[in-house]
């Protein structure tokens, strides 16, 4: 899924086809996405060594839930109120003159909150690929356009001492239309591509201890994937202690058993989310949801696991 197959080109492919497949010939949207993602990664410190606090904070790792959808409710609500206040004022300018200031305040609050939504959304989008990335780019461009429109609308309102500006209201209405379309693509990301959702939620819940591997076959300091009642589990043996969590990264479904063990911590090979093996706790984003935790015991030389009810 994440391999860009850049190690070389098949000599059986024609020269024309190879030329078309080179990065310089990639569609403009792909080249734009690559450039923007590299820029976002640099700004939020995605390529730095753990714990990458800024990126994890923007992802919402500390919250246990993606931060972006929490913030987006604020500008959308504010801009809907802006439109309602503008409609009331336009219907009865003299009787509802109070609505002018309400629209002005709501528009400004929406712009300020949208800047936070922009930062968190761009951070989440920087870890997407393929059609998910393309859809996210459309969503982001539309929402950025909406911020610009509401910024212009707010400026027009502030430029008039009385706040009365039909042009500002019209620009705001246009911004609300753009927001609505952008929100559609945002929903598409969640409900079609499962962006930001827990990728382990549908896995079987192992209620009783089940043998999964012989203790003699479990080397120390090595990640080992096993399956318990259809649920993938990754084991890590450190001395006498054996830890087990779900083998699927909660962020995008990456195989944690193919990741890098760092003491009691495993790093996902796809987007570098880091989970603590003893309890599944997320230490570094983009993951925000803890990995399923499994209780472990050894009986008759067999390692047995069952799902811990707290996760």
Name the pLDDT band for 285 (thresholds 50, 70, 90): very high
Total domains present in the chain: 2
Residue span of the structural domain in which 265 resides: 210-307
Report whether 137 contacts 32 (CB < 8 A): yes
Nearest C-alpha neighbor of 73 from the set 183, 181, 150, 161: 183
Residues 125, 216, single domain; the answer is no
Name the pLDDT band for 296 (thresholds 50, 70, 90): very high
Last residue of a domain, one of 159, 193, 227: 193
Residue 225 within a domain = yes
Name the pLDDT band for 24 (thresholds 50, 70, 90): low
Nearest C-alpha neighbor of 38 from the set 139, 147, 118, 125: 125
Model confidence at 25: pLDDT above 90: no
Residue 103 within a domain = yes
Last residue of a domain, one of 127, 160, 193: 193
Residues 64, 175, single domain; the answer is yes
User: Which H helix or E strand runs over 151?
Assistant: helix 130-159
Average per-residue pLDDT for the chain: 91
Residues 184, 76, single domain; the answer is yes
Structure tokens belonging to residue 221: 């300091």
Nearest C-alpha neighbor of 244 from the set 298, 178, 180, 284: 298
Model confidence at 13: pLDDT above 80: no
Residue 77: which region, alpha, beta or left (left: phi > 0; alpha: psi -120 to 50)?
A: alpha
Residue 294 within a domain = yes
Name the pLDDT band for 181 (thresholds 50, 70, 90): very high
Model confidence at 311: pLDDT above 60: no
Structure tokens belonging to residue 163: 């706040």
Mean pLDDT, range 112-123, rounded to an integer: 98
Q: 8-22, 222-236, 291-305: which range is least confident on average?
A: 8-22
Model confidence at 12: pLDDT above 80: no
CA atoms within 13 A on the CB side of 3: 3
Q: Between 22 and 86, whose confidence is greater?
A: 86
Residue 119 within a domain = yes
pLDDT digits (tens, 9 = 90+) for 130-171: 999 999 999 999 999 999 999 999 999 999 888 789 999 999
Residue 171 within a domain = yes
Residues 77, 152, single domain; the answer is yes
Q: 79-88, 91-100, 125-134, 202-211: which range is least confident on average?
A: 91-100
- Nearest-Å Rg of the Cα atoms of the chain is 25
**Three-state DSSP class for 305?**
strand
Structure tokens belonging to residue 289: 């949801």
Report whether 124 contacts 88 (CB < 8 A): no
Residue 166 within a domain = yes
Residues 173, 283, single domain; the answer is no
Name the pLDDT band for 19 (thresholds 50, 70, 90): very low
């Amino acid at each position: 899924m994440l391999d860009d197959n850049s190690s070389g080109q098949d000599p059986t492919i024609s020269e024309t086809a190879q030329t078309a497949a080179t990065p310089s010939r990639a569609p403009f949207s792909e080249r734009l996405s690559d450039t923007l993602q590299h820029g976002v990664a640099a700004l939020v410190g995605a390529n730095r060594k753990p714990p990458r606090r800024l990126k994890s904070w923007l992802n919402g790792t500390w919250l246990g839930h993606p931060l972006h959808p929490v913030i987006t409710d604020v500008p959308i609500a504010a801009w809907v109120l802006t439109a309602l206040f503008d409609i009331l004022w336009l219907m009865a300018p003299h009787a509802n003159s109070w609505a002018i200031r309400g629209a002005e305040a709501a528009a400004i609050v929406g712009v300020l909150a949208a800047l936070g939504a922009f930062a968190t959304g761009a951070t989440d989008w920087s870890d997407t690929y393929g059609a998910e990335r393309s859809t996210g780019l459309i969503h982001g461009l539309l929402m950025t356009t909406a911020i610009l429109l509401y910024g212009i609308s707010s400026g027009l309102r502030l430029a008039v001492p009385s706040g009365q500006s039909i042009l500002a209201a019209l620009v705001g209405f246009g911004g609300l239309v753009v927001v609505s379309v952008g929100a559609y693509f945002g929903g598409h990301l969640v409900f079609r591509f499962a962006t930001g959702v827990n990728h382990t939620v549908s896995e079987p819940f192992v209620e009783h201890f089940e043998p999964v591997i012989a203790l003699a076959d479990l080397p120390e300091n090595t990640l080992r994937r096993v399956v318990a009642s259809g649920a993938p589990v990754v084991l890590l043996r450190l001395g006498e202690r054996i830890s087990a969590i779900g083998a699927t990264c909660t962020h995008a479904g990456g195989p944690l058993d193919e990741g890098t063990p760092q003491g009691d911590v495993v790093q996902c090979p796809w987007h570098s989310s880091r989970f603590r093996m003893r309890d599944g706790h997320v230490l570094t984003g983009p993951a925000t949801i803890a990995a399923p935790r499994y209780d472990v015991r050894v009986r008759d030389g067999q390692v047995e696991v069952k799902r811990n009810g707290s996760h």
